[in-house]
């Protein structure tokens, strides 16, 4: 049953988007943790749930390891299974804690434990892996109204609370009207909040041209293809000088800055100045001591640079050294070794307006994108999802980008190599999208915004602290009530004697 629930859970996310399935999937898991379940059994059921969810949901890891990492089929399958099994340990831990604390029938405590485990997985451990966080599945439901207030984690908490309250309605006879009322209020409030305008337009609407070069990953860095790639992006750009902002995808320039600056980037910047537009490009850069950065360069009236700070574990940075490096070396897998650009870098500007920049994996983290948002008029994300082929990953990544737009109340302009290039509005809705795996330019208008959502102002810290206190208080009440029951039974026995 846990395996089926895990598979069902994945269907709630992009590209399937059967959001409602998250509730029965989680209900099946939580029901299996109730009457007569030991902590060990709960752990195993949580593990099976996670195994199915991640095996289906992040199977694209195999593509990046096998097709582009250089590993053979057996090694790729083994590493993918290890990866899936590791993340499956987190729902296993949630099951263990829930049953150990006798909280399987306590909605708030179960939801609080689930939130804490998701936060540990998505933010703290190994630089974070926030794929398939519960909240992302609810972008198309009334619970999405809470996203500008509570972000992805808080919305996930409300989803789990909904599930546990519904389950409690069917499994216990106490406070049924109260639980039903809470559910009704929770979802009606979410629907109402979705109509609130947390931010407001700033100035006139602008136009953007998103360049999607569609360069195959196994051809992108071949030396003989470099000039053809540079020519392609230049030609596509010259057709759209009328746009206010032109954006190229992640590492669209397959060369270091020092190799292409004089003959390519400087003339490109001069052309942008002549046409009164700004071009945002991406390429690797080098530091004074040989450090390598994954960078974005804004070319217009002035030149500005941003370097990726939140690096992809095992792809751009190597946690668990020296063990991880040794294993990958033995398997002949070559992965990047980048240096973080540092927190709180100055915002880049385009069309005279500052914007938040995120490179690929960085848009998976709400707090990272929200940093400096009070000055930013819009969001820009450059990505290269060609690493994962024609899999579930590009649509999942787009869903996460939509979460960032809704959390921040800003348009998000997303340029990718092979897809999905898109413009997402301040409500988290995709208003323009380019077809994947095609060489194309997506042009659209977008509205700069000003103001802050509650989530952008407060972030995750207050949320986690508040829910932790509520969970601990509920846990204390649960055990106090349980102790009171035992005391009452003991007193009755004494009186009977």
Where in the chain are the domains?
A: 2-196, 200-456
Is 249's pLDDT higher than 90? yes
pLDDT digits (tens, 9 = 90+) for 262-274: 999 999 999 999 9
- In this prediction, residue 489 carries a pLDDT of 46
Q: Is the pLDDT of residue 165 over 90?
A: yes
> 94 with 46: CB under 8 angstroms?
yes
Q: Does the active-site annotation cover 360?
A: yes
The question of whether 433 is a catalytic residue gets the answer no
Backbone dihedral angles phi then psi of residue 288, each to the nearest 5 degrees? -65, -30
Q: What is the CATH number of domain 200-456?
A: 3.60.110.10
Per-residue pLDDT at 127? 83
CB burial readout 403-434, b (16+ within 10 A) else e? bbbbbbbbbbbbbbbbbbbbbbbbbbebebbb
Q: Write down the catalytic residue from 37, 118, 250, 407.
A: 250
Mean of pLDDT values over 290-305: 94
Report the C-alpha gap between 357 and 378 in whole angstroms: 9
Show Cβ contacts of residue 189 under 8 Å, excluding neighbours closer than 6 positions.
145
Stretch among 298-302, 303-307, 437-441, 480-484 having the lowest mean pLDDT = 480-484
Distance of CA 483 to the CA centre of its chain: 42
Mean pLDDT of 9-20: 98
Q: Looking at residue 323, what is its pLDDT?
A: 54
Q: Which among 118, 220, 316, 360 is annotated as catalytic?
A: 360
Strand 200-201 versus strand 245-247 pairing type = unpaired
Per-residue model confidence (pLDDT) at position 74: 93
Q: Which of 118, 179, 220, 308 is catalytic?
A: 308
Q: What confidence score (pLDDT) does residue 477 get?
A: 78
- Which residues, in sequence order, are CB contacts of 34 under 8 Å at separation 6+? 104, 105, 171
Q: Categorize the per-residue pLDDT at 476 as very low, low, confident or very high, splitting at 50, 70 and 90.
A: confident
For the chain, what is the mean pLDDT?
92
pLDDT per position as a tens digit, 409-418: 999 999 999 9
């Amino acid at each position: 049953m846990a395996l089926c629930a895990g598979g069902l859970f994945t269907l709630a996310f992009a590209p399937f988007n059967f959001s409602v399935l998250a509730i029965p999937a989680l209900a099946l898991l939580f029901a299996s943790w109730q009457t007569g379940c030991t902590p060990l059994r709960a752990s195993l059921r949580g593990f099976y749930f996670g195994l199915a969810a991640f095996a289906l949901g992040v199977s694209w890891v195999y593509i990046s390891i096998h097709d582009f990492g250089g590993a053979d089929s057996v090694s790729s399958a083994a590493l993918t299974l290890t990866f899936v099994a590791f993340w499956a340990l987190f729902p296993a831990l949630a099951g263990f804690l829930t049953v150990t604390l006798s909280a399987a029938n306590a909605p708030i405590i179960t939801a609080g434990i689930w939130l804490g485990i998701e936060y540990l997985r998505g933010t703290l451990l190994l630089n974070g892996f926030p794929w398939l966080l519960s909240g992302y599945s609810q972008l198309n439901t009334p619970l999405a109204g809470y996203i500008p207030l509570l972000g992805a984690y808080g919305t996930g908490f409300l989803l789990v609370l909904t599930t546990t309250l519904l389950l409690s309605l069917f499994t216990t006879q106490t406070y049924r009207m109260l639980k039903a009322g809470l559910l009704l209020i929770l979802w009606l409030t979410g629907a109402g909040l979705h109509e609130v305008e947390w931010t407001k337009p700033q100035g006139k609407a602008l136009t953007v041209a998103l360049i999607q070069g569609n360069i195959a990953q196994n051809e992108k860095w071949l030396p003989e293809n470099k000039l053809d790639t540079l020519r392609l992006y230049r030609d596509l750009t010259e057709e759209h000088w009328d746009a206010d902002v032109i954006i190229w995808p992640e590492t669209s320039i397959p060369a270091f800055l020092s190799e292409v600056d004089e003959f390519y980037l400087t003339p490109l910047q001069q052309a942008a100045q002549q046409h009164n537009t700004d071009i945002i490009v991406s390429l690797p850069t080098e530091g004074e001591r040989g450090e390598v950065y994954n960078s974005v360069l804004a070319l217009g009236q002035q030149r500005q640079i941003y370097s990726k700070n939140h690096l992809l574990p095992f792809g751009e940075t190597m946690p668990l050294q020296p063990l991880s490096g040794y294993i990958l070396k033995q398997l002949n897998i070559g992965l990047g070794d980048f240096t973080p650009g540092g927190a709180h870098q100055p915002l880049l500007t385009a069309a005279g307006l500052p914007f938040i920049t995120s490179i690929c994996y960085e848009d998976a983290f709400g707090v990272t994108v929200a940093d400096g948002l009070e000055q930013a008029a819009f969001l820009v994300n450059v990505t290269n999802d060609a690493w994962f082929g024609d899999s579930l990953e590009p649509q999942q990544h787009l869903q996460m980008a939509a979460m960032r737009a809704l959390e921040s109340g800003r348009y998000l302009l997303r340029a990718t190599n092979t897809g999905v290039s898109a413009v997402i509005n301040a409500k988290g809705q995709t208003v323009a999208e380019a077809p994947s795996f095609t060489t194309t330019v997506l042009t659209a208008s977008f509205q700069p915004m000003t103001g802050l959502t509650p989530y952008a102002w407060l972030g995750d810290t207050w949320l986690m602290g508040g829910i932790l206190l509520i969970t601990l208080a509920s846990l204390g009440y649960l055990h106090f009530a349980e102790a009171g029951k035992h005391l009452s039974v003991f007193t009755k026995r004494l009186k009977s004697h």
